[in-house]
């Protein structure tokens, strides 16, 4: 677990049932000072809930697709030791449209890529110089089994973004590996968040474990990758999917 008083920034923390929120709580319970970000003022309720548990926390509203807003966020937070890039997938619980690739509009494609990949790039670019200067950092990017491990029909933009997050992580890890900074990806499978659809819940029930994962189970993996003890693990994709992605015979 993170050392006491490490400073963490976790994005995509607005939902009380999401992976971001669970990750912030896991890091805070391990002793980190936690800064959390989302696109709406509900982030302040999440920060208050963390503080009620005795966790040092602040909430920030930011559009992470906007480099100017990200720079302002980085300035407000200050030095960051642990970065968890969780923003993406849904905005305020609303999922993006899906469909055959040729039906995607230019706007929809850019929106999905920006929300799920460009946000990660923007935040890393803002905080990694400070990590380099201090000789320490833990970056954990929340990818997905979709794109990084497997494919889902009619969701090509999301899959491309999440696969891109893995490529970004592996390239970056080679840039900073000798500077005390690790960069890893976590790929959740079917997770029972508030935005999970009935069809996704059914898919979770069909995994080898027989259920969807809990946000806390993903968060515990993220917290471990953010720990002092994970110092020799970098450039990796850790799949948290109840064994679903290794099943060959689904009869």
For 212-245, write each residue's pLDDT tens digit: 999 999 999 999 999 999 999 999 999 999 999 9
Q: Which carries the bigger pLDDT value, residue 100 or residue 70?
A: 70
Q: Give 7-189+219-240's CATH code, choosing from 3.40.50.720, 3.40.30.160, 1.10.10.10, 2.60.60.20.
A: 3.40.50.720
Q: Is the pLDDT of residue 3 over 50?
A: no
Catalytic residue among 21, 121, 136, 158: 158
Sequential DSSP letters for 152-181? -TT-HHHHHHHHHHHHHHHHHHHHHGGGTE
Instruction: Tell the residue number behind the tokens 């933009």, with chain if given.
Output: 157
Sequential DSSP letters for 93-140? TEEPP---GGG--HHHHHHHHIIIIIHHHHHHHHHHHHHHHHT-EEEE
Per-domain boundaries in the chain: 7-189+219-240
For 167-214, write each residue's pLDDT tens digit: 999 999 999 999 999 999 999 999 999 989 999 999 999 999 999 999
For 38-90, write each residue's pLDDT tens digit: 999 999 999 999 999 999 999 999 999 999 999 999 999 999 999 999 998 76
232 is catalytic: no
pTM of the model: 0.94
């Amino acid at each position: 677990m993170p050392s006491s008083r490490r400073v963490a920034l976790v994005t995509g923390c607005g939902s009380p049932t999401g992976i971001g929120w669970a990750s912030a709580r896991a890091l805070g319970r391990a002793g980190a000072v936690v800064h959390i970000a989302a696109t709406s003022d509900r982030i302040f309720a999440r920060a208050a809930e963390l503080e009620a548990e005795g966790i040092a926390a602040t909430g920030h509203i930011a559009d992470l697709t906007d480099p100017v807003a990200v720079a302002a966020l980085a300035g407000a937070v200050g030095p960051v030791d642990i970065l968890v890039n969780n923003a993406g997938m849904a905005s305020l619980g609303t999922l993006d449209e899906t469909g055959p690739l040729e039906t995607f509009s230019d706007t929809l494609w850019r929106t999905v890529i920006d929300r799920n990949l460009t946000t990660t790039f923007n935040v890393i670019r803002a905080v990694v110089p400070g990590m380099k200067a201090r000789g320490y950092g833990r970056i954990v990017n929340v990818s997905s089994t979709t794109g990084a491990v497997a494919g889902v029909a009619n969701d090509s933009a999301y899959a491309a973004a999440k696969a891109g997050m893995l490529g970004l992580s592996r390239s970056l890890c080679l840039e900073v590996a000798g500077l005390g900074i690790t960069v890893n990806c976590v790929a959740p499978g079917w997770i029972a968040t508030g935005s999970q659809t009935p069809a996704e819940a059914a898919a979770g029930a069909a995994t080898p474990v027989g259920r969807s994962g809990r946000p806390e189970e993903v968060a515990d993996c993220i917290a471990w990758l953010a720990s002092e003890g994970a110092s020799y693990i970098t450039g990796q994709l850790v799949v948290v999917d109840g064994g679903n992605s290794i099943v060959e015979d689904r009869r």
